[in-house]
Amino acid sequence: MLRDVRKWNMEKAKEFLQLNKEEAETVLRLNIQPTRVGFQCSFYEDFALRGIRVDTVQPGFVSCTLKVPPRLTDKSGNLAKGAVANLVDEVGAAVVHVEGLPMNVSVDMSISFLGTAKLNFS
């Protein structure tokens, strides 16, 4: 019984993640630049962080601005919650790195979703 439920859940997950024709064409149009020589940024980091601007850096505080790009939106045109969590994680890791703390620290982050950010909103 449990195996059948897991199989059904997996099929539902695959169905949910399946792209329709328009979505597949959008993915094919993505212009992902190759990693530049001497630039230690992965595809993942470049995809997530491209366009972010650091506005203010003070001890214990970082303020960034990002105009919401289409690649980070959900089907409703809102900044995807997973993208928000990823941005918080990446910027938080950069802060730890800049502060000179050992990279084997454990960090507890809390994210509250109070509203939505729409496509091209900054």
**Percent of residues, the chain, with pLDDT higher than 70:** 73
Q: Where in the chain is the domain with CATH 3.10.129.10?
A: 38-121
Higher-confidence position of 77 and 33: 77
16 pLDDT band (50/70/90 cuts)?
confident
pLDDT value at residue 28? 81
Contact between 82 and 73 under an 8 Å Cβ cutoff? The reply is no
Nearest-Å Rg of the Cα atoms of the chain is: 18
How many distinct helices (H) and strands (E) make up the chain?
4, 2
DSSP class of residue 13 equals H
Tokens 């089907």 map to which residue? 75
Higher-confidence position of 83 and 34: 83
Mean pLDDT of 63-73: 89
Residue 97 has pLDDT above 70, yes or no: no
Higher-confidence position of 6 and 67: 67
38-121 fold:
Thiol Ester Dehydrase; Chain A (3.10.129)
